[in-house]
Amino acid sequence: MHKTPLLDQLESGPWPSFITDLKRVAGRKKAAADLLGVLERSYKDKITHWKHGGIVGVLGYGSGIIGRYIDIPDEFPGVEHFHTVRVNQPSGWFYTTAALRELCDIWDKHGSSILNVHGSTGDMIFLGTTTDQLEPCFAALTAKGWDLGGSGSAMRTPSCCVGQARCEWACYDTMDLCYQTTQNFQFEMHRPSFPYKFKVKCSGCPNDCVAAIARADMSVIGVWKDDIRIDQAAVKAYAGGEIKPAGGGTIYKKLDIKADVTDLCPTICMSYEGGKLSIDNKNCNHCMHCINMMPQALRIGTETGATLLLGSHAPILEGAQMSWVIVPFMAMEAPYDEFTELIGNIHEWWSENGKNRERTGELMLRLGMRAFFEGVGLPPVPQTIRTPRANPFFFWHAEDFEAEAAGRKYIK
Amino acid sequence: MALPKAELVEFIFDMVAKAQGKKQLKAMDIQKAVLKAHPDQPKNDVKFAIKDLIDGSRCVYTYFGGSFIEIPHEEGAAKH
Ligand code: HEM
Ligand code: HEM
Ligand code: SF4
Ligand code: SF4
């Protein structure tokens, strides 16, 4: 075992420590022992000793295995190769304990025993194995019905919130959409053929529990079109303190409906007068605040579906971006043909026009929303406008005049 | 003229072999080059021709900040 005085300090805090866990595994796995060694070394050097990429993978797949090496293998031979295996998670991350044991047994046999539940991709991440163990590990996984997730310039493993399995705010079946999308894009997940990564994340409502708006190229966020359902008696009960705020989980005795709810509505579309709550639903932007505060009194509407947004990513070529509304409302019903076709069109437009490592959001900014909508065949509707136009010039095309003469407007 | 499937596979293999060591090709570079030489080639043919080369181990996927298609060679990043 390496001496790890810096890491040892991490064990002294109040929380369960990953160092303690790693030390336990280090007793039986050389990789874990050297992992601690190289981590201690990095804490001292204040630089990572990992590099990634290369050629490793399993036959037929260009995704799911991430080659990982260290730059000082002579000192830490146990982690000279320390490849990552991404295992496609079940929708909503529901496992039986039997399934978890099965996965742990496979990884105990073929890897470092260290895993990450779950990576920000959504997959279960098996951390660290050698090249010769990749095919046997993959074979063991597929024999039990598991598959690898996406990596590289490919469709990434879609992920979703627990949706209708646990949550009454889910505006569509997030788990089903996630599962069907995973099935529909198997080719694109396992055989990288895009300019860069493409992620789909599905949240059932605007609370956005999988942070789709910031972490997915295609962010699917549940929404309703009609009115928030109000139970006026329950509103009164909140006001009177019969129903406690946060179900009794705070120091506050009762909700101040005006200060805590209506005054915080971002579009100022609510009022509470004479013991009656009213909402001007036309101006509600579905922020979820009022529903989160009074879950027993307010419910999402009944005409539900999702808003599609495109383009969020972390900084690589350009700075970070949030996703941008491209379809204000789509009814999300199986078999999701409209959704699948739109993703296909986006892939095609992006593959045709994107530069190496350019994400969809960056391409959308570089070529402009007009080119995007034309390229993927979507109508530009008012909800898709993020900022009013600043350029006073408007260029007319000859086709516009011809179209106008034929009774239509603005075709270009 | 669109190539028959077997010829398309060889056409792509030659392209990857010629580029080896000079330029790393992405799937889309290959598709664009095929369509330039054979404008009527269905795009799906290209996808499946690449799959053929990968499944037969004649080509491999690599990752160097992006995913490429190359002739198998010695494990790269270990030495980089
Ligand atoms: C040979 C004569 C002229 C030339 C070469 C000329 C050139 C230009 C150019 C290049 C611009 C664009 C400026 C920019 O891009 O910001 C412009 C804008 C403008 N010009 Fe002229 N101009 C001429 C005569 C005139 C005359 C006689 C008037 C008015 C009586 C006029 C009124 C304007 C106005 C109002 C704009 C601003 C348009 C807008 O902001 O949408 N120009 N001109
Ligand atoms: C005391 C006299 C004036 C002052 C202080 C003044 C000031 C300004 C300012 C500050 C702007 C905005 C420039 C910008 O967008 O950066 C502007 C724009 C403009 N001014 Fe004047 N102006 C004066 C007289 C005139 C006159 C007499 C005319 C025409 C006969 C005129 C025509 C325009 C036009 C066409 C624009 C461009 C508007 C646009 O494209 O949005 N201005 N002026
Ligand atoms: S995103 Fe909405 S529907 Fe999904 S779990 Fe969170 S609150 Fe529930
Ligand atoms: S959901 Fe948000 S915007 Fe809509 S009424 Fe409630 S607080 Fe206002």
Count of CB pairs separated by less than 8 Å, A with B: 92
| Residue A387 pLDDT | 78
| Residue A34 pLDDT | 97
pLDDT, greater one: A409 or A314: A314
Distance (Å) of CA A86 to CA A279, A320, B52, B60, B63: 46, 25, 24, 19, 15
pLDDT surpassing 70 at residue A51: yes
Domain covering B5-72 in this structure, CATH number: 1.10.10.10
- Mean pLDDT confidence for A228-239: 98
User: Do the beta carbons of residue A121 and residue A157 sit within 8 Å?
Assistant: yes
Which token pair is B51?
A: 């799959």
Which token pair is A403?
A: 């179209």
**CB-ligand 3 contact for A223 (6 Å cutoff):** no
Q: Which amino acid is at B36?
A: K
| Residue A411 pLDDT | 56
User: Which ligand is the nearest neighbour of the Cα of A293?
Assistant: 4
User: Which ligand is the nearest neighbour of the Cα of A393?
Assistant: 1
Q: What is the DSSP letter of B25?
A: B
Do the first three CATH levels of A5-143 and A229-299 match, i.e. the same topology? yes
Atom 8 of ligand 3: nearest residue by CA position: A167
Helices (H), chain B: 5-19, 27-37, 43-55, 76-79
At the topology level, CATH places domain A159-223+307-405 in Sulfite Reductase Hemoprotein; domain 1 (3.30.413)
- Mean pLDDT confidence for A23-27: 96
Residues in chain A closer than 8 A to B50 (CB atoms): 191, 193
B32-52 pLDDT, tens per residue? 999 999 999 999 999 999 999
Residues in chain A closer than 8 A to B78 (CB atoms): 54, 69, 80-81
Q: Do A131 and B61 touch (CB under 8 A)?
A: no
Of A61, A131, A351, the CB nearest to B28: A351
Domain covering A5-143 in this structure, CATH number: 3.30.70.2500
Distance (Å) of CA A244 to CA A249, A265, A316: 8, 20, 46
Q: Is B44 on the interface with A (CB under 8 A)?
A: no
**CB-ligand 4 contact for A142 (6 Å cutoff):** no
Residue of A nearest to B27 (CA): A193
Q: Which amino acid is at A317?
A: L
In a 13 Å sphere around the CA of A316, the CA atoms on its Cβ side amount to 17
B12-32 pLDDT, tens per residue? 999 999 999 999 999 999 999
Residues B33-62 as b or e (16 or more Cβ within 10 Å = b)? bbeeebeebeeebbbbbbbbbbeeeebbbb
Q: Where are the beta strands (DSSP E) in A274-376?
A: 276-279, 298-299, 304-310, 324-330
Euclidean distance between CA atoms A323 and A313, whole angstroms: 8
Distance from CA of B19 to the nearest CA of A (A): 17
Residues 6+ apart with CB under 8 A from A292: A207
Give bridge partners of residue A202 from the DSSP assignment: A160, A220
Give bridge partners of residue A54 from the DSSP assignment: B63
Residue A159: its H or E element: strand A159-160
**CB-ligand 4 contact for A288 (6 Å cutoff):** yes
At the topology level, CATH places domain A229-299 in Alpha-Beta Plaits (3.30.70)
* Residue A261 CA, closest ligand 4 atom number: 7
Of A56, A59, A192, the CB nearest to B27: A192
> A221, A255, A287, A292: which to mutate for ligand 4, most atoms within 8 A of CB?
A287
Q: What is the DSSP letter of A255?
A: -
Q: Is B72 on the interface with A (CB under 8 A)?
A: yes
Atom 6 of ligand 3: nearest residue by CA position: A209
All structural domains of chain B with their residue ranges: 5-72
All structural domains of chain A with their residue ranges: 5-143, 159-223+307-405, 229-299
| Residue A404 pLDDT | 82
- Mean pLDDT confidence for A388-407: 79
Distance from CA of B9 to the nearest CA of A (A): 16
**What is the rounded average pLDDT for all residues in chain A?**
94
